Structure 1
C-alpha cells in the first residue's frame, strides 16, 4: 500500500486545530524529510513520532506531526489514507485531553453510532469473511464434538448477535441420526461495540426459534440476566464500562448440566474474551487467588462446567500493549487488512465500505485514546491465547479435515486474497499472507465425555 501526499481540505474535526491549519507551521528536519516519501512505513513513523510527543506532553511537536498527517489522511482516499484518517482522529482526541485549549477539540466521539436491522447485519457479516471464517470453523468443531448426543446446550459469548447459529441448526437438521434438541444460552450483557442491532436479544432468540422450527429442530433460547445495569447500545467507548463480571461468574457457577443424560455442553467465545480485562491492576480475588485475572477466572469457571468443547475465535494481533507507541505499531500493521480487502471490491464512496470502516474506527478510537478501565479493546494474539488456554488446563482439539474443507469452500466465495493456514493449534484466516483471524477449539484436560 502507498499513500500519496495530498493537499486535502482539513476535515471538520480538525478545523479548530490552529497549528494544523497553518501551512506555514515550522517543521523539524525529520518531519520535513518525510514529506516526499509518505508511504505506509513513513506514515507509521509519523504516528509513532506523534505518540512519543503525546506521551512526553510535547503538544507543539504533536501538532506539527498532525499537520503532516492531515495532508495525508483522507476518508475517501486509498486504504492507507483512509486508515490514517482514523488514527489521526483518535490521536487528536487524545491530545485534547492533554491540552484542551491548545488543541481546541472537546474529546467527544464524533463517530456515528448506527443500529442495524437483522438484514443489514446479515449483509455486514457476508461482506468479508472476517466473522464467517470463525463461524464456519467453530461450527465444524462443534458438530464433530456433539456426535452421538441427543441434547446440546450452547453457552454463546459473542458480539455478532447469534448470526453463527442458523448454519449449525441447518447442519443438525440434516444429521443422519436425526437432530438433537438444542438450547442456546446467552448473557444479558453485551460489550458496547459494533455491530449494534436494532432489536432485542429476546427478538433474536424468537427468530432463531422460528428458523429451528422450520428445520424441525427442537429449540430453546435462554438469557442469563447477569446485570440490571448492563450497558445499553447507546453507550460510547469514552464512558466507563460497568461490566457485570462477578454477577456473570455467579450465574455461570449456578448453572447445572446433566452430562449423564446425554447432554453435551458447548462453550462458544467469538470476539469476546478480549473484553474481559486482563490488566495487573484488575486482579480479582477468588478461586485462583490474588493473581488471577478476569480472563483467567472466566476460563476457570467454564473449565469446571466440563464442556465437551470450547471454541475461541478472535482477531490475530496483540493490541493490549501498555504504551501508546506499542499499540500504534501493532494496530497500524494489523488493521490495514480490512481496509485493503474492502478496496478490492467496493467503490471509494460505497456506503457499505464507509460504514464498515467506521466500525473499525470505533476500535481504533478506543485502542489509542483511552487507558485504564475505559480502554476495553484488549485483544491478545492467537499465540498468546493458546498459551493461556494450555496454562489453564485445556487441551487443543484439532480441526478435522472436513471442517478444513468447509472453511476453504467458504473462502472461495470471497476475493482471491483470502487464504487459510494451520499454525500449531489454530486455523488462521489470512489476507495476502498476513494473519487476520484465528480459530481454536479446546477440551478441559479432565473431560471424560
Structure 2
C-alpha cells in the first residue's frame, strides 16, 4: 500500500458513527471508522472503499449507500490527490450500485450515469495530452529506440501498429530515420480499423492521421506509406480474418515490426468467454500466436504495470486505489487544482476507473495484467526477450529529465519500468521470435 507517500490527510466533520449507521449492520463499519473521524488518510479511505465493495458484493445496497455517504464527505474533484481519486471511485461505485438499486443515488453532484462523457481531441490537443506526463512518452521512447536499433541497415520496414494514441509515436521515429547515416528506409505503417473506444479519442479519422504523417515524412525526406486494415471494424473480425500475410500485404523484401502500446489489455484474457476458434479461448493468446506466425523481426509491448483483472471487486478496488493514485499525484506537482487540462486528464483516468469497478463480464474491458505476467504470456507463445541496450536506457533517462523529479526508471528482468516515487506505473518490453530467425536480430550490446 502506498500510504507512506500519500501524506495528504483530508479533514472532515462527521457525525458520530452510531447516528449515521444503523447499528444493526454490526460493528465492522464502526470499526472501519474508528480512529479515522476528523481526518481520513489513504489507509482509512481504502478501508471504507473495501467496506462498500463488500456490501455491494453481498447485495447490501443500504449499507453500501451509508458508506458512500461518508466517502462523499471526503471526495472532491478539486481537492488533494486522494480526494480527487476517491471522487472518481465513488462515481464508479454509484454507477455499479444503481444497476441493482431501484432508487437513483446522487451525492454532491455525483451521478449514477453508467457512461462518463469523453471528448474528441484535435491533433494539437492530443500532442499536449501525450506531453503532459511521461505515461505514454516513456513507452514511445523505449520502443522507438529498440525499433531503430533492430532495423539498422534495412532498406524497407513495415510497422504493424496496435496503439490507442493514434500514431503519436511515429513522428519521433521518422525524424530519427531521416538522420540515419545509410539513409532512411521506405517506411510503411499499417493500423487496424478497430480500436477500443477509450480515451484519448481524436476528431479526425485514421486516414487523416496517415495523411498528416505522410506530409511530415515528405518534409523529412523519408519515403512513407500508410495503410488501414480494411474490414477490421470489430475485434473478432480482425482476429479471425485480417491478421495474416495477405490482408496485411506483407512483402518478402520488408522487415516486419509489431508495435503494441496499451493494446493487449483490451483483448479478453478469459478462456471461458472466448470464441471456439481461439486456441485456448483467450483473445489475448490468439492475437500473440497470430503475431508470432508472421515472424516479425521485433515486437514491442508497452502497457500499465498493474493487475486489474481480478474477478473480486474488493481486489480491484484495492489495486485501483493504490495504482490510479499515480497520475492524480503526479499532476498535483505542476498543475493547479482547478486546471481544465488537469481535470480533462483525470476524467480520462476516471473513464478507466468506472470500467474497472462499475462493470463485469464482457463489459469490463480494462483487464490489465502486470509486466511480469504479460512477459510470461509472451514467452509461452514462442518469443524470446530482447533486452534493451544502454543507449535506449540513456534516451529514456533523458526523456524523464524533462519531467518532474518524482519520475524514474528501473530494470526488472528484461523490462524497463517507469516509476513514480518508486512505484511501478508503465512497463516496456521487446521480443524476438524463438527459433530460426532469418533476420538474425541481436539486441544485446
For 1:136, the equivalent position in structure 2 comes to: 141
Shift in alpha-carbon separation, 1:106–1:344, aligned structure 2, 3 A? closer
User: SS of 2:10's equivalent?
Assistant: coil
Aligned ranges for residues 169-184 of structure 1 at < 5 Å? 169-184=174-189
What's the offset of the Cα at 1:38?
A: 1.2
For the pair 1:448 / 2:438, whether they are aligned, the reply is: yes
For the residue of structure 1 that corresponds to 2:103, the secondary structure is helix
Rate the CA distance shift 1:204–1:320 in 2: closer, same or farther, 3 A.
Answer: same
CA change 1:309–1:48 in 2 (3 A) is same
> What corresponds to 2:151 in structure 1?
146
Deviations 1:335-364 (A, max 9, x none): 100100000000000011000000000000
Partner residue, 1:159: 164
Check 1:407–1:82 CA distance in 2 against 1; reply closer, same or farther (3 A cut): same
Q: Tell me the distance in 2 between the aligned counterparts of 1:374 and 1:7.
A: 38
Report how many aligned residue pairs link the two structures: 419
1:41 and 2:31 aligned: no
Runs of 4+ with >6 A deviation: none
Give, in angstroms, the shift of residue 37 of structure 1: 4.3
Shift of 1:89: 0.4
1:336 aligns with 2:325: yes
TM-superposed CA distance for 1:23, in Å, is 11
Question: Which structure 1 segments of 5+ residues have no match?
Answer: 9-19, 231-242
Aligned to 1:59: 61
- Tell me, yes or no, if the aligned pair for 1:249 and 1:301 is still in contact at 8 Å: no
Instruction: For 1:252 and 1:412, locate their aligned partners in 2 and report how far apart those are by CA, in whole Å.
Output: 39
Alignment partner of 1:360 is 2:358:
no
Query: Does 2:241 match 1:223?
Result: no
Q: CA deviation at 1:245?
A: 2.0
Cross-structure match for 2:114: 109
1:4 aligns with 2:10: yes
| Separation in structure 2 between the aligned mates of residue 287 and residue 340 of structure 1, nearest angstrom | 40
TM-score, length-normalised on structure 1?
A: 0.90
Please tell me whether residue 389 in structure 1 is matched to residue 394 in structure 2.
Answer: no
Matching residue within 232, 245, 250 for 2:236 = 245
The Cα shift of 1:250 comes to: 1.3
Q: Which stretch shifts more, 111-120 or 311-320?
A: 111-120
With normalisation by structure 2, the TM-score equals 0.91
Partner of 1:200: 205
Q: Would the alpha carbon gap of residues 23 and 338 (structure 1) be closer, same or farther in structure 2, given more than 3 Å must change?
A: farther
Paired residue secondary structure (1:266): strand
Q: Which residue of 1 aligns with 2:297?
A: 308
Root-mean-square deviation (Å) = 1.9
Deviation at 1:60, TM superposition (A): 1.3
